[in-house]
Each structure stands twice: as C-alpha cells, then as structure tokens.
Copies of this chain bind each other. A is one copy, B any other.
C-alpha cells in the first residue's frame, strides 16, 4: 500500500523560431515517454496546448514549451536525455529538471546527483537543493535564460486527513465522485477536464482552458498520502481560491507552494502557519520561491505496527 507520489519534473522552452513541439505528434511523445516506462492514457487538446494524461502523471505540450511530470519509480532522466538529444541543445532556450525529495529514496533507481551528472554531460547548467535533507526538499537543475520560462505555481500537500481523504481510500470512487467531492466543476470553471482513476488507488486530472493548464495528482495511500497540483494560473486569477478550497477539503498536515516567476501568497488559512520560506535566484535575477506551511495544532502521532 505504498506509492511514491513525489514528482520528477521537466520543463523546457524552445528558442524563438524553432519548429513547433506540437507538430512532433503523439508517436514521438510515445517514444520519448517509453524511455521512462511511461504510457499515454488519454489526450485533451485546446487551441494552444496538448495535455497527455500518463500512466505516471502528465505531459503538457505547447508550440514552444513543455512540462512533463512523472512520479512513482519512473526514470524521467532517460526521457530528458532523449529529448535533449533529439531536439538538440541549441534549440533550447531553457530547461529545468527537478526532483522532489522522495519518501522512500532507497527504492528509486537513481539519485538526483547521478541524473545531473549525466545531464551535465549534454547541457551546461547549475544544480541546487533547497530545504533540509531530513525533511521535504526540492532539487533543481537549470540551464538557459530564465526570461523564457513561463510563470508556474506548484502546490504539494502531505498527509491529507478527513472525509475526503477517507473517501479517496474507499472502493466507492469514480472520477465523477472525486470531482464532486473536490468541487472541481466550480473551481475549474471553463476548463475541459480529463481525469483517470488508477487501480488500486490514485487519481490524476489534466485540465485545459485555452493557454491555461491545471493538473492534479492524488496519492491517497495512508502512510505516504500526497496531493500535488500545478498550473500557470496566477493567485489573483483564481488559484488562490482553488488552493484554499482544496486545503479545506483535503486537510493536509502540511503543504508547500512553490513558483517560478510567480507572485507568492501573502496569507494562508488560519489553521496553518508559515514554517519556512526560501528562494533561489536563477538567470537574470529571476527565480523560484518556496513556502512551507504546517497545521498549528500539535499533531497526535499514531504508531504503526510493522
């Protein structure tokens, strides 16, 4: 009943004037994803973007950029190396490769340092860690010019609890019932949705509204429960309300919000307090911020019999 929800993430943008990434077609992405043992389950398109729902998370492809997120024990670095080789380093205006700290790192097939050693052989860049090794931390390799990266916000919730968390462990689930419990049709008004329920557990959602994307992944397993969302919506353009509503319904013990070139929240629901904040300066003095929040109340730790 353990699943590693922590994501590996690639985002890249093309130099101006390069051929469209969308024109590469589904067969190309299938081949690229095979390198990390990941399959395409379904596809949703808007005028600006193709959103692929994957056996391990999501791929979003715009004409000049992409975001690829995988979880579990996937070897995303293999797809990253394939793409850099196939697209050609010179076509890339920027590339970031990230790994969130895993819950059980001993079960992963490589460490971030090993991935980076291989990637650095193909692309000049710098690697960073932010956060403590004995807690949640973020690892990032960055190459290129920050100015070409689009604003992105990521929210990660740990140890969800309560009615919705219980429902997500039950055998009464459906994608419709989850959307309803999370109030998604209201929260994501105007978006087209593509959702998938995994067996035995797990839920993924891709959503598109023109240029805007939103993706949500839920690992409900009790010892490692984890929910992540990523979007290019800004806090002011609706993300704020979505985060507050999902926090209320999922009631995580703690959560992070991180953003590339994005406005950071100035307040949080009152049951949480801001525990830590960090920022990472990348090219052009722009960068990434991270905030970590935790429930104010003293937590009751319950022993698990092994």
Indicate which residue in B127, B136, B279, B299 contacts A276 across the interface (CB closer than 8 Å): B299
Which residues on B sit within 8 Å (CB–CB) of A111? Answer: 106
A126 contacts partner chain B, Cβ-Cβ < 8 Å: yes
Which residues on B sit within 8 Å (CB–CB) of A130? Answer: 301-304
A159 contacts partner chain B, Cβ-Cβ < 8 Å: yes
Indicate which residue in B112, B290, B306 contacts A139 across the interface (CB closer than 8 Å): B306
Number of copies: 2
Q: How far is the CA of A304 from the CA of B298 in the complex (A)?
A: 30
Indicate which residue in B103, B104, B129, B305 contacts A304 across the interface (CB closer than 8 Å): B129
Indicate which residue in B131, B134, B158, B290 contacts A103 across the interface (CB closer than 8 Å): B134
Give A271-306 as 1s and 0s: 1 = Cβ < 8 Å from B's Cβ atoms: 000111111100000000010101000111111111
A5, chain B: closest CB distance, angstroms: 10
A91 contacts partner chain B, Cβ-Cβ < 8 Å: no
Q: How far is the CA of A168 from the CA of B245 in the complex (A)?
A: 46
Can you list 7 A-B pairs with a CB-CB distance of less than 8 A?
Answer: A103-B134, A104-B133, A105-B105, A126-B305, A127-B305, A130-B301, A278-B300
